[in-house]
Amino acid sequence: MITLYHRPKTRSSRFLFLLEELDAPYQVQIVTVRNRDGSGAVDPANPHPHGKVPAISDDGVPVFESAAIALYLTDRFPKNGLGAKIGEPLRGPYLSWLAYYAGVFEPSVMSKFMKWEVPRGTAGWADLTEVMPVLLARLEKGPYLLGESFSAVDVLYGTSFALFLNSEFMPKSPLLQAYVQRVTSRPAFARGVARDPG
Ligand SMILES: N[C@@H](CCC(=O)N[C@@H](CS)C(=O)NCC(=O)O)C(=O)O
């Protein structure tokens, strides 16, 4: 049984969506986290080393960080084909776009959001004005980031795009809007939202 350590309407919400897509047996444990305004506290029950959400445990085995959780869950529950298995041609792209999410996309969005300048050549990630064209070029080929099939990669990027779609730093792109619509109109997304009051 998977336990999702969750705080409503946060980065852990997308894992309700993924767990629903996977038909995985899971339970939700609501935890406290530290908030931007200084309130809140790390919950000792949460296995994430900084008390962040999401984290999961699989019969007591902890997994933390969104990209690792996505990979772990899709390997663990392969029935619905939400990942790419070792040996399949899409395994390399699958791992790459998961790692790109954590190492490049999220830092680039946060840099914009916080108005931090990304120094060229040293930061390890790139400015969002370089990152979004890369992702849009993928979507021009796809309906999804891996091509024809929806995957956990789309759960991560699609839900992030949905959050920032109307912000001034996201490109105004019909392609992006159609992609967000495609991802968020999935029945599993609605089931995840229904389990995420707050
Ligand atoms: N790198 C983490 C980020 C997780 C994260 O920052 N989650 C926020 C909620 S959206 C949180 O737990 N904040 C509380 C804190 O930073 O202590 C991941 O992608 O899983």
Is 40 in contact with 34 (CB distance < 8 Å)? yes
For residues 90-109, give the mean pLDDT.
98
11-to-69, 99, 106 alpha-carbon distances in Å: 12, 16, 11
For 131, residues 6+ apart whose C-beta sits below 8 A from its C-beta are: 104, 105, 108, 125
Between the CA of 11 and the centroid of ligand 1 the distance, in Å, is 7
Looking at residue 198, its pLDDT comes to: 76
168-to-26, 64, 80, 94, 149 alpha-carbon distances in Å: 37, 31, 36, 29, 30
Between the CA of 66 and the centroid of ligand 1 the distance, in Å, is 9
Quick one: which atom of ligand 1 is closest to the CA of 54? 20
For residues 44-54, give the mean pLDDT.
98
Q: Tell which CATH classification among 3.40.30.10, 2.120.10.30, 3.10.20.30, 3.40.50.150 matches the domain 2-82+188-194.
A: 3.40.30.10
Phi and psi based region of residue 53 (left: phi greater than 0; alpha: psi -120 to 50; beta: remaining): beta
CB of 53 within 6 A of ligand 1: the answer is yes
For 187-198, write each residue's pLDDT tens digit: 999 999 999 987
Query: Order of strands, edge to edge, in the sheet holding 2-6?
Result: 26-30, 2-6, 55-58, 61-64
For residues 145-153, give the mean pLDDT.
97
- For the cut 90, the answer to whether the pLDDT of residue 104 exceeds it is yes
**Fold of the domain spanning 91-186:** Glutathione S-transferase Yfyf (Class Pi); Chain A, domain 2 (1.20.1050)
Q: What is the largest CA-CA distance in the chain?
A: 46
User: Which residue has the least CA distance to atom 1 on ligand 1?
Assistant: 65
pLDDT band at 167 (very low <50, low <70, confident <90, very high): very high
Question: Token pair of 43, please?
Answer: 């919950």
Average pLDDT of every residue of the chain: 97
- Ordered by start, the domain boundaries in the chain are 2-82+188-194, 91-186
CB of 32 within 6 A of ligand 1: the answer is no
112-to-37, 165, 184 alpha-carbon distances in Å: 20, 13, 24
For 115-128, write each residue's pLDDT tens digit: 999 998 899 999 99
